[in-house]
Amino acid sequence: MIIAIDGPAASGKGTLGKRLAEHFGFAHLDTGLLYRAVARVLLDRNVPLEDREAAAEVARTLDVSHLDDSRLRGAAMGEAASMVSAYQPVRDALLAFQRQFGTRAPGAVLDGRDIGTVVCPDAEVKLFITAAPEERARRRHLELQSRGEQAEYEAILADIRRRDERDMNRSTAPLKPAEDALTLDTTHLDADAAFRAALDLVERKRSSTAGR
């Protein structure tokens, strides 16, 4: 079974993906970390993020065993990942790994921008998680503060809006809900309420599918 979760930056999809995976005993993959890892390698090598060919080569040879690297977190790496993720060769290079991950037994939860539309279009459950940009910026601001990082709310909000614009309007796998996705707006939900709401959607979808 595959649970595909899509949504914009800081919508809460990563946290929900992890909690749903733990609840069902499924494997979990935050696919955004793959693109962050590609961006990190480019930056470590002092290669411009605009170098599409270099980004594609990094993606083809990416070591996925270090996705827990703390350097992959943070707004700056998120912005860098948003840039390289717009390159079709990069997405092509990472697609096979993501699809293979989705075959893990007894199931897998993948979250990202194009899981339900491109990576796993046949996923049994598709969720699209969203929230108002201002709320997403507030959450990201609190997250950064909790890690002792300096950040201004207005700068974070501007970054989120810029990433939304890039992600939704790129020609390659734009951010959008799959036609059969269930949408969950977490603007007014805390983490626990969002999890309960997402779990309810998953269970309802599984029940309706099992009844066919």
User: Would you list the DSSP string of the chain?
Assistant: -EEEEE--TTSSHHHHHHHHHHHHT-EEEETHHHHHHHHHHHHHTT--TT-HHHHHHHHHT--GGGTT-GGG-SHHHHHHHHHHTT-HHHHHHHHHHHHHHTT-SS-EEEEESSIIIII-TT-SEEEEEE--HHHHHHHHHHHHHHTT----HHHHHHHHHHHHHHHHH-SSS-S---TTPEEEE-TT--HHHHHHHHHHHHHHHHHHHHT-
CATH class of 2-207: alpha beta
pTM comes to 0.91
For the segment 146-179, what is each residue's pLDDT rounded down to a tens digit?
888 888 999 999 999 998 998 899 888 899 999 9
Q: What does the domain layout of the chain look like in residue ranges?
A: 2-207
The binding site for ATP consists of 7-15
Binding-site residue set: 7-15
Residue 211 has pLDDT above 70, yes or no: no
